[in-house]
Structure 1
Amino acid sequence: MHKTASITSLAATLALLGAFPALADGEVNIYSYRQPELIQPLLDAFTKETGIKTNVLFLDKGLVERMTAEGENSPADVILTVDIARLTEAKDGGVTQAVSDETINKDIPANFRDPEGNWFGLTTRGRVVYASKERVKETAITYEELADPKWKGKICMRDGQHSYNIGLIASMIAHHGADYTEKWLTGLKNNLVTKPNGSDRSQAKAIFAGECDLAIANTYYVGVMMTNDKEPEQKDWANSLRVIFPNTADRGTHVNISGMAMAKNAPNKDNALKLMQFLSEGEAQKIYAEQVFEYPVLPGAEPSAIVKGFGTIKPDTLPLTEIAKNRKQASELVDKVGFNEGATE
């Protein structure tokens, strides 16, 4: 869901000069891996409630490198990003600072935040199975079953090294160990109809075209496609499939997060904390979840009507920090089994 780097509102001119305004009362500066249009309704609500102005710099890569280069002079107050890998990358890169706040810790469950307070999850998305409504009768499936030869030549998915897939593979290692996961990954590879390619939306298009019956992809893309008036053909892609939440009968579906962190050298630290508190609370959780078709992490908060239409998700409760520990090994396994070469048997 990323585009090339772009910058919102007043920040456009300032970012072209290389920086946001220096320390200023009543402002908070955000470095974001999330597209501006997805978070703007949230920020508008925050400004309306607090009077604090927001400036956003959108980056599609290099956030940690940029902040490291800026050092103590970095104008960034809050980091908004997707994927546990991006959050741990920011922490490990030394560009965040720990936050211990009762409001945030009350609203965000422990398994969706860094134990040391360096990052916090805001919404989750499931890594699910897209299944053809026409050609797939099954309404329940497990990740493990995707390696069953009965699906040979019927599965499509994007690059095995993409962070979304690495997260899923890392979760398999966390639950089953590396040896099992290597065999599973080999079985899944040999069920692919073609070499991994494209985006999650491309997999939906392939199902619509009859090129494959199953795909592994994120929940929120279905909502994005269902509401895409600019490219209405994507509505047909979405309508050709149903979402199956894997492992509902046992450990639950693998989820990943979008999240936030306070920048290490936040010049507007008080305003940064106010924004982080706001983002963890009910109104913002509702707005954010509806904007991005994801699940709010706030217990009891409801997803959008479109997301509810996918069915009920039972998230895997294994802490994302435990899953993230296996990401390097997951990446190595993708290469070891030649996953991106596609089926070889």
Structure 2
Amino acid sequence: MHNSFKFTLAASALVAALGAQTTAHAQDKVLNLYSARHYQTDEAMYEAFTRTTGIKINRVDADDAGIIARLRAEGAASPADVIMLVDAARMASADSQGLFQPIKSAKLDAAIPANLRADASADGVTWTGFSTRARVIVYDPMRVKPAEVATYEQLADPKLKGMVCTRTGSHPYNLSLFSTVVERLGDQKGEAWLKGLVDNMARAPKGGDTDQIKAVASGECGVALTNSYYVARLIKSSKPEDRAVMEKVRVMFPNQGTSGTHVNIAGAAVAKHAKNRDNAIQFMEFLASPFAQDYFANGNNEFPAAKGVKVDNPAIKAMGGDNFKAETVPLGAVARNMTKVQQMLDRVGYK
């Protein structure tokens, strides 16, 4: 073989090798994030991760449904490394469609309680919660006594007939709560409870959680369900009309004497076809750190998921949420109930 030809082959091989190394190095410093969270405080958290690790975050923003649809459409060609969604029901739905992969991490095991994560398998855990919010009861103190709404179960009591308001029963926020109650009460009692809620409705379910709070303040409803961060937003609002709403309602963290208040999560998972898996796991572990937990929770007036981490939020304290008993029903078990509970909702006529 001619020497010049040998040299050309060797040079080509070297260029190819260097190119592969460059590509691998570039991949080592990239994380592709699909996120349903849209808070300015998250930006500071991402910047801190990049400063600390040198890993650049490329972010795609959409709502939960949009992210799940995109992942399904992209299939194995998806560039996504980490997926962030804002509800256990949505995490469970994506997981059931095979969009996540299990990971093992001693740091996550130590930081995040097992009940705030998917059920563990021999291969690891598919998704993890990194912040929590409480599903609280808001009531009109002029029409309803605190002792009458001390538990979720009491919302089905005939004493509250014509007073209860909620958003649609099939919304993930309610579906997660209802699945938890059914897990505790069993199928028969759980379905009877859902029927009681329907019988007590002041009007057909409609609107979002903030609409439920305002409906209680206006007198349309006597009691309603809402996520705690919607209450916090109204408490922190500079608008006089929002402050007026909060002056007319009271907040109850239910089941403090029994099972504890239902909590849901915003969480994350490593994508099924992640090209930067190690970076993805490193990012997941970063989210569990006290530094990131502060940003992650405060960004939406939520609570940290990591053990021993406290966030000083005046709005949370104002509603009595700085020290409440949270339920410990595993969200993995809740996820398994969702299809069954949706069928119950259909049977009892919960719109």
TM-score range, shorter chain: 0.7 to 0.9
Identity of aligned residues (%): 40
Match of 1:290 among 278, 283, 298: 298
Task: Give 1:211 deviation, angstroms.
Answer: 1.2
8 Å Cα contact 1:36/1:58 also seen in 2: no
User: For residue 27 of structure 1, what is the aligned residue in structure 2?
Assistant: 30
More helix by share: 2
User: For residue 4 of structure 1, what is the aligned residue in structure 2?
Assistant: none
Question: What per-residue deviation string (whole Å, max 9, x for no partner) do you get for residues 160-211 of structure 1?
Answer: 1111111111112111112112221121111111111100000011112111
Distance 1:132 1:45, change over 3 A: farther
Which secondary structure does the structure 1 equivalent of 2:83 belong to?
strand
State TM-score, norm by structure 2. Answer: 0.85
Task: Give 1:235 deviation, angstroms.
Answer: 3.5
Match of 2:263 among 249, 255, 267: 255
Distance 1:178 1:226, change over 3 A: same
8 Å Cα contact 2:236/2:315 also seen in 1: no
Which secondary structure does the structure 2 equivalent of 1:325 belong to?
helix
Question: What per-residue deviation string (whole Å, max 9, x for no partner) do you get for residues 239-292 of structure 1?
Answer: 432221111101111111110101122222232222111101111111111111
User: For residue 157 of structure 1, what is the aligned residue in structure 2?
Assistant: 166
User: For residue 94 of structure 2, what is the aligned residue in structure 1?
Assistant: 90
User: For residue 206 of structure 2, what is the aligned residue in structure 1?
Assistant: 197
CA–CA distance in structure 2, aligned partners of residues 239 and 40 of structure 1:
33
- Unmatched runs of 5 consecutive residues or more in structure 2: 1-22
Task: Give 1:222 deviation, angstroms.
Answer: 1.0
CA–CA distance in structure 1, aligned partners of residues 318 and 51 of structure 2:
31
State TM-score, norm by structure 1. Answer: 0.86
8 Å Cα contact 2:90/2:172 also seen in 1: no
User: For residue 5 of structure 1, what is the aligned residue in structure 2?
Assistant: none
Deviates more, 1:306-315 or 1:242-251: 306-315
8 Å Cα contact 2:117/2:125 also seen in 1: yes
Task: Give 1:146 deviation, angstroms.
Answer: 0.9
User: For residue 350 of structure 2, what is the aligned residue in structure 1?
Assistant: 339
Match of 1:43 among 42, 46, 52: 46
Match of 1:136 among 140, 144, 153: 144
Match of 1:102 among 89, 103, 106: 106
8 Å Cα contact 1:36/1:56 also seen in 2: no
Which secondary structure does the structure 2 equivalent of 1:317 belong to?
coil
| Paired residue type of 1:321 | G
Q: Please report the RMSD computed on the Cα atoms of aligned residues, expressed in angstroms.
A: 2.1
CA–CA distance in structure 2, aligned partners of residues 152 and 41 of structure 1:
47
Which secondary structure does the structure 2 equivalent of 1:43 belong to?
helix
Moved >6 Å (runs of 4+): none
Question: What per-residue deviation string (whole Å, max 9, x for no partner) do you get for residues 104-133 of structure 1?
Answer: 111111111221311111011111101224
- Unmatched runs of 5 consecutive residues or more in structure 1: 1-20, 341-345
Aligned length: 319
Structure number with larger C-alpha Rg? 2
Task: Give 1:212 deviation, angstroms.
Answer: 1.3
CA–CA distance in structure 2, aligned partners of residues 331 and 72 of structure 1:
31
User: For residue 55 of structure 1, what is the aligned residue in structure 2?
Assistant: 58
| Paired residue type of 1:101 | S
- Are 1:242 and 2:250 an aligned pair? yes
User: For residue 118 of structure 1, what is the aligned residue in structure 2?
Assistant: 126
Deviates more, 1:60-69 or 1:202-211: 60-69
8 Å Cα contact 1:157/1:200 also seen in 2: yes
CA–CA distance in structure 2, aligned partners of residues 223 and 315 of structure 1:
18
Question: What per-residue deviation string (whole Å, max 9, x for no partner) do you get for residues 56-76 of structure 1?
Answer: 111222323322322232111
